[in-house]
Amino acid sequence: MHVPDGFINAPVSAVTGVVAAGAIAVSLKGARRELDEKTAPLAGLVAAFIFAVQMLNFPVAAGTSGHLLGGALAAILVGPYTGVLCVSVVLLMQGILFADGGLTALGVNITDMAIVTTVVAYAVFRGLVKVLPRGRRSITAAAFVSALLSVPAAAVAFTLLYAVGGTTDVSIDKVATAMVGVHILIGLGEAAITALTVGAVIAVRPDLVYGARGLTQQLKLRVNGELVDAPTATPAAVAARTSHRKVWITGLVASLILAGFVSFYASASPDGLEKVAEDQGIAEAAKEHSAADSPLADYGVKDVSNARISGGLAGVIGVGATVVAGTGVFWAVRRRRTADAPEVSRSQVA
């Protein structure tokens, strides 16, 4: 759903740029509360994983494909504020390095793909876990539903932006019907990927899943005829089963394999927005990307003639750049939280 330059006019693009900048500023502040010694490195990995999986377009209908947006996945794994930052880092890397998503449309893309998906998904997720029985299956089910709904929500958001600032004379009713229809199908893929990933992390390290904190069912033991709370596993005991470092390495290797090898077999069909733009005559308004001559444009390494090797190298470079950029941002936020802690303590004492 990456919006290219030219689809949305300059005034609306500028407004969404301001909205995106404001949301990122709020998210940087909010992420200080979410990030700790466990989630700070995991957040960079989540960004890299989203980048990798976004390269895996899957077919959803005749001549149309879809890919992960990632807002729901990021929000559930590392928190909604950190989730906005994760997807924003991915979009920034894609726009600058790979000419994917216009640079003047960066505000549009962050607003649509990072803010809307994360806010909608996490709101739905929190609402579901409050009414569902506590447990891992409920968390996975809530992840599925929230991810499913986040994709058509992003489609609706794009339609509204296009209704205000679209650069072609196309019926908004047609755009809305086409966008929502195809993105409901894409949402099913998003939901499956999100639920499988969240379920996999919960299975080995439930303490690393932000959305699962405090949601596990307290076990009861009968002692002398009375039910009492069973002792809970300590963080050290949980970590002993699968170390944090092992989870991180496994996730990074999986991301590299997906981007460097599996991406070659992704669907070549246009994604939902591209297909709608072609069918409705919006595509003619697209402008050439200012980074079209980038050595990594279109997810290939310039001057490498073998398509498999070119795409694989580009994917590996993208994962590496995203994990470095993301980890750097989140460690900086984490360090700021640590630096602020003594000041808070002193003010409380005073």
Into how many domains does the chain fold?
Answer: 1
Q: Residue 131 is part of a domain; what is its CATH number?
A: 1.10.1760.20
Confidence at residue 62, expressed as pLDDT on a 0 to 100 scale: 79
Average pLDDT for runs of 10 along the chain of length 350: 95 98 97 84 94 96 93 97 97 96 96 98 96 90 98 97 94 94 96 97 89 64 57 49 81 97 95 94 93 94 94 97 94 77 47
51, part of any domain: yes
DSSP letters spanning 321-345: HHHHHHHHHHHHHHHHHHHHHHHHH
Confidence at residue 263, expressed as pLDDT on a 0 to 100 scale: 95
Confidence at residue 240, expressed as pLDDT on a 0 to 100 scale: 46
What do you get for the CA distance between the two ends of the chain, in Å? 51
Structure tokens at 13: 């693009």
pTM: 0.89
2, part of any domain: no
**171, exposed or middle or buried, with CB in 10 Å at 0-12, 13-18, 19+?**
exposed
What is the C-alpha to C-alpha distance for residues 303 and 17, in angstroms, rounded to an integer?
34
Q: Pick from 52, 101, 86, 89: which is nearest to 271 by CA?
A: 101
- Indicate the Cα dihedral angle 73, 79, 80, 81, nearest 10°: -130
Which residue, chain included where needed, has tokens 């993301």? 326
5, part of any domain: no
3, part of any domain: no
8 A C-beta contact, residue 186 and residue 54:
no
* Helix-helix angle 136-165:10-34, to 10 degrees: 160
Confidence at residue 5, expressed as pLDDT on a 0 to 100 scale: 96
Residue 252's φ and ψ, nearest 5 degrees, are -65, -45
Sign of the alpha-carbon dihedral angle for 256, 257, 260, 263: negative
Confidence at residue 36, expressed as pLDDT on a 0 to 100 scale: 81
Structure tokens at 224: 């002398």
Sign of the alpha-carbon dihedral angle for 55, 282, 71, 153: negative
8 A C-beta contact, residue 300 and residue 314:
yes
Give the domain extent around 189. 10-349
Confidence at residue 242, expressed as pLDDT on a 0 to 100 scale: 65
4, part of any domain: no
Structure tokens at 123: 């709101």
Question: Which residues, including other chains, have CB under 8 Å from residue 91's CB and lie 6 or more apart?
Answer: 2, 101, 106, 109, 110, 113, 114
3-state percent breakdown (helix, strand, coil) of the chain, nearest 5? 70, 5, 25
77, part of any domain: yes
Confidence at residue 344, expressed as pLDDT on a 0 to 100 scale: 44
